[in-house]
Structure 1
Amino acid sequence: MNVSAKLGAEDVAQPLRFTVPEQLHEIDLTEDAETRVQRAYANATAIMRGATEMQRLSVVFNQEMMIAQLVSEGAVYAGQLIARSDADPARLATAQFSILVKDAVLDAANALAAVADGLKEPGRTREVAFARYPAGEALVIGEEVKVTMPVTVTGEPVASTSLVRQAQIIFACPDRRHIAILTLSSDSLADWRAYIDILDGMARSVSFRATKTSAIADRLSGF
């Protein structure tokens, strides 16, 4: 599926284009929350046959928490993968993918190197590297974090902690005023390699160029 967004105001807008695989379920970030929750629960019920009510509610609850965070961070796309684990078919595996656009001041000659330096924190386990993609050089970040929910999905005040692995691929946009961030988050660590391959494919599809029209299309544009 091809997706596009615009960076900046309409008069100086620059295109951002990328492709996402069909197995990702796109999440409408502007949709009414009640409608989205009902559909997510129905999907979880259909996919998670044999799962408990708590397990289905947990998937829906985690999705809503993720969406609230993405909206606050400037997401232009969010997608979720829910499937039986390849590593253990008896388990359900989930992963969240998103693309964020953030304002940035990229005045340095090597802006991504400056960003990388700012991400290094003493005592924090975080991998930072660089990779080359068709859209240009990108900063690649990976880390594991412990996520603690203060309550259960039913509202009980019992904290639960899980290990979540995260990856980000950051592009400096050509306008030098934005960065585009592709993100992956999952606690299904046994299937991590498959998710990384999906994220890498998305990064290889990123383009900041406008779609070129053919000569015949230009001639017929007024009809």
Structure 2
Amino acid sequence: MASTATPIAPTDVPDLWFELPPGFMEFDLAEDPEARVLRMADVADGLFADATPEQKLSLVVSSEYILQTMIAAGAEHVSSCLLRMPGDQLSQGTFYVLIERPDAGPQSQDRQGSAKRTAVQWRELYPDAEVGLVMLPYGISALCIRDQELQIPGVIFGLDEPVPATVRQVQFCVPLKTGPGSALFVFMTQDIEHWTEYLDVLSGIMKSVSADEPGGENPPEVDGPRVGGTE
């Protein structure tokens, strides 16, 4: 499975592109949920033939639950991954992207200042998190890594009680070049043991973020933000 170039496009002209590595399965956010679950099951069988039936079921059910949550939050892109880690272990994670638009009115396009303000806000909100600034090929980004204690509804696993889970999450808030606003890239996994390997995977994704389509022509410059959904 080759890496794919993915547009984030509130209209016909994408705000940005990024590339997903092998092992990531992108969801069609407009697809009927029942049809999507059946399709995900077929894809899981094809992509992850060595996984146990329980692992495939967990991937499909938990992915659909997370997907519904992300759609409600306004995600432009959601994908799930099942990667083979050292020791031949299969590991699951979820990746999503939102475009955050500022309120109406005059807006500064100081990208560095915007990233710094986001980092300050994250430090105040999450005092135990690892927060900082990183420079990507696309431009400056605020970075936040933190652990969350979640209660996953047990009904999705056929259980009566909620299932406690510790999830590690990394967020990159990348101010847009196309106008006021930021792209929020988020990855989360329960597999904290292989976090270092996941950071290597995410580094590749974030280094691929670009305003230009890979192998395509440069998009025209615009004065304001581009609004819309994933193509």
Give the TM-score normalised by the residue count of structure 1: 0.79
Task: Give the one of 83, 92, 95 matched to 1:94.
Answer: 92
Q: 1:182 to 1:123 in 2, by over 3 A?
A: closer
- Mapped partners of 1:194, 1:169: distance in 2: 17
Call closer, same or farther: CA 1:49–1:141 in 2, change over 3 Å: same
The residue aligned with 2:39 is 39
For residues 68 and 51 of structure 2, what CA distance do their matches in structure 1 show? 29
Evaluate the alpha carbon distance shift between residue 58 and residue 133 of structure 1 in structure 2; reply closer, same or farther with a 3 A threshold.
same
- 2:197 corresponds to: 194
Cα pair 1:58 1:153 within 8 Å, conserved: no
Distance 2:126 2:118 in 1: 18
Question: Which structure's CA Rg is the greater one?
Answer: 1
Task: Tell me the distance in 2 between the aligned counterparts of 1:150 and 1:48.
Answer: 28
Deviation of residue 145 (structure 1)?
A: 0.6
Change (3 A) 1:49 1:153: farther
Displacement of 1:56 in angstroms is 4.2
Identical aligned pairs, as a percentage? 22
Q: Is the 8 A contact 1:130 1:137 kept in 2?
A: yes
State the secondary structure of the residue aligned to 1:4. Answer: strand
1:94 to partner: Cα distance:
0.3
- Structure 1 residue ranges without an equivalent (≥5): 214-223
1:114 corresponds to = 117
Alpha-carbon distance change, 122 to 146 in structure 1, aligned in 2, over 3 angstroms: same
C-alpha separation in 2, matches of 1:65 and 1:45: 19
Q: Quick check: 1:80 aligned with 2:80?
A: yes
1:152, distance to aligned residue in structure 2 (A): 3.9
1:120, CA displacement in angstroms?
A: 2.2
- Note closer, same or farther for the CA distance 1:43–1:108 as it changes in structure 2 (3 Å cut): closer
Q: Please state if 1:161 is matched with 2:164.
A: yes
1:139 equivalent in alignment to 2:142: yes
Specify the SS of the correspondent of 2:148: strand
Q: 1:165 Cα deviation (Å)?
A: 0.5
> Any conservation in 2 of the 1:170–1:181 contact (CA below 8 Å)?
yes
Distance 1:77 1:133, change over 3 A: same
Which letter maps to 1:107?
S
Post-superposition CA distance 1:113-136 (Å, at most 9, x none): 111222223674211111111111
- Asked if residue 212 in structure 1 is aligned to residue 210 in structure 2, the reply is no
Q: Tell me the number of residue pairs that the alignment of Structure 1 and Structure 2 aligns.
A: 207
Indicate the SS of the match to 2:15.
strand
